[in-house]
Amino acid sequence: MRLEFEALRDSMLQAAGRLDRNMGGASVDIFKRPFSRRRTIYKFIDRQNLPATLRNFDFAIPDSTSPGRYQTTVPQQALYLMNGPFAEEQAKKTLELPRYSGISDPRKKIVSLYRYIYGRKPGQDELKLALKYVEENTPKRWASYVKTLMLANEFVFLD
């Protein structure tokens, strides 16, 4: 089962060490920069003008009753996550966390990322591929790698 948009966004914020868990308060626009760190449940909803992103992620129409959400998988979902500035920002912020920023050895950094993001060590093939990918060892390449981890099925889907 794929995570709903709210849970996915909150999971990305959590992985980046940025999730604001404070309860209550006013709603926030989660699509405007700077991106809010608040849990997605506190997002502002304009019932007359539902953002396309929410529609793409099967958000129920707020003007009517709905017993549940449909679960679709459409290209717009992947494109939003791959090309959207929110995922890019969370990947960069993840790498700024002290648990990663102080690691200069790529192998150790990859193992640390896997442990925190997936809760496990990478397999030998995963580690080999990751080391090849970050061989360039630039901040941009690392951010791209972390974003890939956050958008992989293992992060987005629950078994």
Cα distances from 43 to residues 27, 57, 63, 65, 113, in angstroms, run 5, 14, 16, 19, 28
pTM for this one? Answer: 0.92
HSE, CB side, 13 Å, CA atoms: give it for residue 43: 20
- What is the length of the chain? 159
Q: Which pLDDT tens digit goes with each residue over 35-55? A: 999 999 999 998 888 898 998
The alpha carbon dihedral of 63, 64, 67, 70 has a sign of negative
Q: Which pLDDT tens digit goes with each residue over 137-158? A: 999 999 999 999 999 999 999 8
**Rounded to 5 degrees, what angle do the CA atoms 98, 16, 60 make?**
170
The yes-or-no verdict on residue 63 having pLDDT over 80 is: no
